Amino acid sequence: MLSEVLLVSAPGKVILHGEHAVVHGKVALAVALNLRTFLRLQPHSSGKVDLSLPNIGIKRSWDVARLQLLDTSFLEQGDVTAPTPEQVEKLKEVAGLPDDCAVTKRLAVLTFLYLYLSIFRKQRWTKEDLELINKWAFQGERVIHGNPSGVDNAVSTWGGALRYQQGKIASLKRPPALQILLTNTRVPRSTKALVAGVRNRLLKFPEIVAPLLTSIDAISLECERVLGEMGEAPALEQYHVLEELIDMNQHHLNALGVGHASLDQLCQVTRAHGLHSKLTGAGGGGCGITLLKPGLEQPEVEATKQALTSCGFDCWETSVGAPGVSVHSATSLESRVRQALDGL
């Protein structure tokens, strides 16, 4: 039982290279961002559990007693299990969301309920606890998009910069502190549908699509090699290699059918400012990343952000290689984070 306020944060993440290919056993490179999501768990005695997700407009409340009436045989501590369709149906009943609730909101609430009912919380996390968190986060991903590769939950749990292939994780020893723009085109998309689309294209044109996946694999490996070199001795030439890799991968992802007009626009706008971008994650809209080279003047960065914002996109300047999921004491939080949490 939670006896005091618990503050937890997890980093945002981006896949540098290897999205989609990773679903087919290829290498992906993923990094945690210095943009974090904070969670405050606060005990109270109303007999209810309240969920507030202000960024997507969710505020819900459930009777704890009602939740306890559920068949919780799947909730044994330490036993990480995939949600079955029956459990998801049961959670839908408990969630009590209106029929016209957007899919993203619905999935967020179902994932919360599944994980809330399943996880025992602690104040300090050992390596074993983090492994457990990673496994549960993977199950959360399964609620959201069915057949995830596991790269997203891994990088959010462990942080830093990871090479991921078929469940095997290797942290990059000394990743360079790359600065990037993360741009959300605000075009909604379904990861599940996009992953299925790539699979269909692979089945339909194996001779054409399999080499694309192999090439993306090689891009990830080359990027890993260059990042390793940059950790030792960064040079502008290496940034140019990273830019070429970004361009090639973006074209491959378009050929896989996961591009979108908004992502083309993002690439064109940043190209006009001499910067290179690619989609990150599932594509079909969603987010893109833009590499910021050292020596770039801040007014140029601001002008690029402004140009992206005037396309209707959201844009953040951030750096990669942030710590993974963390527990915080209230006093260690930045005051703007404390204020935002207090305003909920």
**Catalytically active residues, by annotation:** 152
Cβ density class 137-154: b for 16+ within 10 Å, e for less: bbbbbbbbbeebbbbbbb
Any contact of residue 286 with ligand PMV (CB under 6 A)?
yes
- Three-class SS of residue 247? helix
Residue with tokens 């940043």: 270
Question: Is-contact 182 33, C-beta < 8 A?
Answer: yes
Q: Which of 16, 212, 275, 282 binds ligand PMV (CB under 6 A)?
A: 282
Q: Which of 9, 87, 118, 149 binds ligand PMV (CB under 6 A)?
A: 149
Any contact of residue 22 with ligand PMV (CB under 6 A)?
yes
Segment interacting with ligand PMV (CB under 6 A) among 13-21, 94-102, 172-180, 217-225: 13-21
Any contact of residue 137 with ligand PMV (CB under 6 A)?
no
Tokens representing 54 are 């202000």
Q: What is the DSSP string of 224-246?
A: HHHHHHHHHS--HHHHHHHHHHH
Segment interacting with ligand PMV (CB under 6 A) among 67-75, 92-100, 117-125, 279-287: 279-287
Write the interaction track for ligand PMV spanning residues 233-272; mark x where CB under 6 A is met and - where it is not. ----------------------------------------
Length of the chain equals 344
Query: Nearest approach, Cβ of 42 to ligand PMV (angstroms)?
Result: 28
- Please, which residue, 87 or 190, has the CB nearer to ligand PMV? 190
Any contact of residue 140 with ligand PMV (CB under 6 A)?
no
Biggest alpha carbon distance in the chain? Answer: 61
- Please, which residue, 90 or 145, has the CB nearer to ligand PMV? 145
Q: Where are the alpha helices (DSSP H) in 69-146?
A: 85-95, 103-118, 127-145
Total residues contacting ligand PMV (rule CB under 6 A)?
Answer: 14
Question: Is-contact 178 320, C-beta < 8 A?
Answer: yes
In angstroms, the CA 251 to CA 54 distance is 36
Report the Cα 142 to chain-centroid distance in Å: 13
Q: Which of 118, 153, 183, 191 binds ligand PMV (CB under 6 A)?
A: 191
Q: Which of 16, 19, 175, 292 binds ligand PMV (CB under 6 A)?
A: 19
Q: Which of 11, 83, 140, 148 binds ligand PMV (CB under 6 A)?
A: 148
β-strands 6-17, 58-63: how paired? unpaired
Residues that bind ligand PMV (CB under 6 A): 15, 19-20, 22-23, 148-149, 151-152, 191, 195, 281-282, 286
